[in-house]
Amino acid sequence: MSFLLSILIDGLIYASWLFIVSAGLTLIYGVMRVLNMAHGSFYAIGAYTAASLVGWYFNHDELPAFGSFAVMALGAIAVGFVAGLVTERGVLRFLRGRDEVVMVLVTFGLLLVYEDLIKFIWGVQSYYASQPYSLLGSTDIGEINFVNYDLAMIGVAGVVAAVLWWSLNRTRQGKLLRAVINDRENAVALGINVNRLFMATFAIGAGLGALAGGLSAPAIAVNPGLGVEVIVLAFAVVVTGGLGSVEGALIGAVLIGLARAAAVNLWPEAELFVIYGVMACVLAFRPRGLFVLDSARKI
Amino acid sequence: MRFWDKISFITALNIVALGMLASPPAVAADPIKLGLVAFYSGPVSGPVGMPSRKGADLIIEAINIGTLPAPYAGKGIGGRMIEPIYVDEAVEPVNEFRNLVQRQGADAVIGYSSSGSCVGVAPIAEELKVLTLFYYCGSTRTFEEGPKEYVFRTMNSQDVENIAAARYILSIKPNLKTLSGMNQNYGWGQESWRDFTKSVQKLKPGVTIATEQFPKIFAGQYGAEITALTRANADVIHSSFWGGDLDAFILQAAPRNLFQKQTAVLTTGGTAIDTLTKQIPEGTVIGVRGNGGALAPASAFHDWFRAAYQKKYGEQPSFPAYYMAQSVLALKAAGDKAAEQTKAVPSMDAIRKALSGLEFAAPSGIVSMSRHKGHQAVTDIAYGTFKLVDGKPTLINVKRYQPECVVPPEGVKSLDWIEAGFPGAKCD
């Protein structure tokens, strides 16, 4: 029992991280039909921002340690939001309506530009922001000790999922977004300001990517190349869940997280295989992922 | 021409003629265009790539201006200055090797941290006939898959550090019964784990494996692996993780008290002891892949290197800096030897031939190119146990293993030597 419980907890922790990383990616695709390779860069920017802010924060002894969580998360979101805004206004808006493959290439170019920009700003040395990671202590569940920070990530992912669901389904702006997702042409015809929605969506998506990076920073050494490693996993999640579906990203993350945790504990050699094995199995039966976006029938 | 003009003219001619007789033709020796390849970006750039580059810069500068301490003397490599060309290993190392040689005209290449890079680059170096010195990668396959003419490695291969790790852990935990492993899922990690477990089991039959984890390189998230390792509850956890992966593993394992309950053997842990001082628990076994960094033996050369590095960069060198410096010094020693033998500015081919079988001095001690027909270096190798002394990271209970104890004899494959029970090994 304790064995299964620990697999479940490990799986959910990993799934939480995967979901926060991929939520922004799938949101942007759903609204803009842009498969944003630069999402990995926003993750990296968030991690670097958080690491820098945590370093600065803990150099001020008079500040309460728990405040570092807010500084880390809000700082990462804010910088990611601005980076997203600049990217959308500075580049992507001029390429609106281009083929999805072209946009993949453009955003891949942006990923490379951001990688160099990150090196230009932060250099190539490692950054550490480990203080918040142990601040919440740890909990014994059965025979296994878990870090409370990791357990809290499950809650954070839940909050992100709930806020996204509520925003998309219960707010006026969310309903406008869903209208754009379902039928962009009709939405424009109805007078919805698609440009403004695109700008806001891209900035929010980038902010979510940066939040994921910021929350990861305390448990890793923040180094160049961080975003490149993450983007492959995020794609696996959103493709499994269905491109553009936030619910799909959530279910995809949980499936992959649990499968990986089970493999690590039961069949370690298959750890890498199961991530893509899950994706392949889903795509074999549902080629467009678990949750396919509705699309208007064109005549 | 008047008399005094004639005298002046003849005198001037004599001075010129005497000058020509007294000194060799004033033609500058061609510089050596030296490719220096390491991870200058990516997850291992901070812990490995940048110290390596700093080590190279320091030694190249000292070679070019002639300020290296004894036993080295003179400017350049046999009189040839070094022109460094830096190339990032993170970007297609095999293709970039060709570019480095064929487009940028590198005369020699020093570099490569990843075993994957070395296995890929070695046949290209042989094909292009370019002197290539591997400074950090460890795969034994490089030379065991066939003799090389142009490829050298100036530090120990990975089998040596894992055999030494096995001897060390059994010396401090003679009642060891179970092992767990946490190694990256590629050649380096798999071969390190294989050589370590086989060495331990040969030295102490009956030791069993509790769990073996092979996460993807640069995975970054190890929560589930730490759970599996905790549950397995082995006496010892072996890890050949390096760079950012090593840092992330330590950061995530520390608050879960993994290394407090089980003794960790971190074969490349030396890069982390100064940066993750608070996270590494006392009792963790730390390796430096040889004799460099915090485990370098005292010597005048070592003192010079540390002082010069501190002065130039404001920090102490970690072990990758030592091994890159070691590689550049191999070139210097070989070039000077070739120049002395031929009494001429050495060609790259003369340097290559002089390097084979050479013994030379480095900040971490004497390096002997005495395996694989003079192409593979052997050095002493040290391990120590982490302890905070007055708040400072310190390695205690240091044991230094001579090559005769941990390096397979010439002509014997490392796995064969381990499985045969280390025949001929001489350990104190």
CA distance A123 to chain B (A): 9
Q: Do B231 and A226 touch (CB under 8 A)?
A: no
Whole-model pTM: value is 0.89
Q: Is the pLDDT of residue B28 over 80?
A: no
Q: Do B248 and A130 touch (CB under 8 A)?
A: no
ipTM associated with this complex: 0.91
Task: Identify the closest residue of chain B to A18 by CA–CA distance.
Answer: B221
Which domains, from first to last, does chain B contain? 32-157+297-378 (3.40.50.2300), 159-296+380-419 (3.40.50.2300)
**Residue indicated by tokens 């550490």:** A128
Which is nearest to B120 in space by CA: B104, B101, B96? B96
Can you read off the two tokens belonging to residue A97?
């309506």
Amino acid letter for position B113: S
Percent of chain A with pLDDT over 90: 75
In tens, the pLDDT along B246-277 reads 999 999 999 999 999 899 999 999 999 999 99
Q: How would DSSP label each residue in B156-174?
A: --HHHHHHHHHHHHHHH-T
Contacts of B34 (CB under 8 A, 6+ apart): B60, B82, B83, B84, B85, B106, B107, B108, B109, B110, B328, B331
Asked, for residue A52, whether it belongs to a domain, the answer is yes
CA distance B336 to A266: 57
Q: Is A220 on the interface with B (CB under 8 A)?
A: yes
Write the residue in A144, A147, A221 that is nearest to B255 by C-beta: A147
Q: Is the pLDDT of residue B26 over 50?
A: no
Asked, for residue A282, whether it belongs to a domain, the answer is no
Cβ–Cβ under 8 Å, residues B42 and A226: no
Q: In A, which residues are within 8 Å of B281 by CB distance?
A: none
In tens, the pLDDT along B51-101 reads 999 999 999 999 999 999 999 999 999 999 999 999 999 889 999 999 999
Mutate to test the interface with A, among B184, B221, B249, B274 (most CBs of A within 10 A): B221
Cβ–Cβ under 8 Å, residues A49 and A76: yes
CA distance B184 to B191: 10
Q: Do A268 and B221 touch (CB under 8 A)?
A: no
**Pairing label, strands B236-239, B178-182:** parallel
Q: In A, which residues are within 8 Å of B46 by CB distance?
A: 124-126, 221, 223
Q: Is the pLDDT of residue B4 over 70?
A: no
Q: Do B185 and A272 touch (CB under 8 A)?
A: yes
Cα dist from A127 to A72, A213, B216, B247, whole Å: 14, 13, 22, 11
Q: Identify the pLDDT of residue A225.
A: 85
Asked, for residue A119, whether it belongs to a domain, the answer is yes
B112 against B12, higher pLDDT: B112
Asked, for residue A12, whether it belongs to a domain, the answer is no
Domain count of chain A? 1
Q: Is the pLDDT of residue A292 over 90?
A: no
Q: In B, which residues are within 8 Å of A10 by CB distance?
A: 223-224, 227
Can you read off the two tokens belonging to residue B192?
């390190």
Cβ–Cβ under 8 Å, residues B271 and B47: yes
Q: Identify the pLDDT of residue A294.
A: 58
Q: Do B212 and A264 touch (CB under 8 A)?
A: no
Q: Is the pLDDT of residue B17 over 80?
A: no
Task: Identify the closest residue of chain B to A260 by CA–CA distance.
Answer: B224
**Residue indicated by tokens 């608070």:** B278
In this structure, of A263-272, B159-168, B321-330, the range with the lowest mean pLDDT score is A263-272
| Residue A185 lies in domain | 28-227
A293 against A10, higher pLDDT: A10
Question: In the predicted model, what is the mean pLDDT of residues A215-224?
Answer: 94
Asked, for residue A186, whether it belongs to a domain, the answer is yes
Write the residue in B41, B220, B230 that is nearest to A229 by C-beta: B220
Q: Identify the pLDDT of residue B6.
A: 54
Task: Identify the closest residue of chain A to B243 by CA–CA distance.
Answer: A221
Q: Identify the pLDDT of residue B15.
A: 46
Q: Do B248 and A219 touch (CB under 8 A)?
A: yes
Q: Is the pLDDT of residue B35 over 90?
A: yes
